[in-house]
Amino acid sequence: MSKTIVIKFGTSTLTQGTKSLSRPAMLELVKQIAQLHQQQYRVIVVTSGAVAAGRDYLGHRELPPTIASKQLLAAVGQSQLIQVWESLFGIYGIHIGQMLLTRADLEDRERFLNARDTLNALLDQHIIPVINENDAVATAEIKVGDNDNLSALVAILAQAEQLYLLTDQEGLFDSDPRSNPNAKRLAVVEKITPEIRQIAGGAVSGLGTGGMFTKITAAEIATRSGVETLIAAGSRSNVLLELAAGQEIGTRFLVQADRLEGRKQWLFAAPQAGSVVVDQGAEQALLQHKSLLPVGVQNVEGEFTRGEVIKIFNQNGKAIALGIARYSSEALRKIKGKKSQEIETLLGYEFGSVAVHSDEMVVY
């Protein structure tokens, strides 16, 4: 089976710091993807740039600073952006297929699987999927948030081996390289710690919505699902070929867990409806990949229904797992701290002896 790679291009990479899409820069990237495509890599493109393309197409006219204006620019620019990708890939005789996604497409299990089927169908026919968030219709409630996070979720969706996040920086540095000429690039990050997040800082680019911090968040989502993640400069010559060849450029984030089966991968895309706090005994059981029993639940927070995804915290407030609740928050409050054989007596019904089954749980 050939390797699947998700490549995310930020606005700064596609515009090269200008106010317009840089076709020469995009052509150079397409040329590299064409070589990977010829080498039997399964390549998926996650692209930013729709709003920038729309703004350029409309002559940078002044618009009210509203969400509707941004959605207008995305609606106009998305067709412009995909036309550019289509024309450039066409030079190499490669077909592309456009997919516009929102969180709603990923948080629902059935829609998640439908999106996966579409993605695999495109790849099986040697068509390169070009994916963007559907900003023209997305609201705050259904937005993924930025294309860094979207690319991580797409990598999970595609069960990819690697995720490349291309940006205007050479990688993650131990301090801001724009203000500190002695800043050192971190070649490998074994684990994303609070110190790593602090180093990442905030958003950088003026045209895009993401920054180094969102890339660290995306790397954390991807690596926890078994997808190796690399951050590198999109302007570097042959950057994609060098990354695919394993050369030591950019910053490599090592996987934090073995590749999860599909149902568990979906947990990272689904929204968390509530949470529970467990005692020390339950925490130890979870770390041994056992199910969560009602007796180990101390507190139930938020309102959720059976089948929704909840976060599991230990007594110190540390998140230790994600899982699908077998019982609603209302039911769980009635059976928390109780033995499994008491469930039917307390509720009048039972959906099994566990609060969250190990088969439906991801332990951090």
Sequence ranges of the binding site for substrate: 48, 135, 147
Name the pairing type of β-strands 188-189 and 128-133: unpaired
Partner residues linked to 160 by β-bridges: none
Q: Which two tokens stand for residue 314?
A: 């230990």
- Asked if residue 358 lies in contact with residue 287, where contact means CB atoms within 8 angstroms, the answer is no
Please check whether residue 140 is in contact with residue 304, taking contact to mean a CB–CB distance below 8 angstroms: no
DSSP E strand stretches across the chain: 4-9, 42-47, 96-101, 128-133, 162-167, 188-189, 228-233, 251-253, 272-278, 297-301, 309-313, 319-324, 361-363
Q: How far apart are CA 284 and CA 195, in angstroms?
A: 26
**Pairwise CA distance, residues 209 & 205, whole Å:** 7
* Count of other CB atoms within 10 angstroms of residue 349: 9
Q: How far is CA 274 from CA 118, 266, 277, 287, in A?
A: 31, 17, 11, 20
Under 8 Å between Cβ of 244 and 41: yes
Spatial neighbors of 259 by CB under 8 A, at least 6 apart, are 159, 225, 226
H or E stretch covering 282 = helix 280-287
- Report the C-alpha gap between 32 and 241 in whole angstroms: 6
Residues annotated within the binding site for ATP are 8, 167-168, 209-215
Which residues sit in the known binding site? 8, 48, 135, 147, 167-168, 209-215
Q: What is the DSSP letter of 127?
A: P
Which pair of structure tokens corresponds to residue 256? 């934090």
Q: What is the CA radius of gyration of the chain?
A: 22
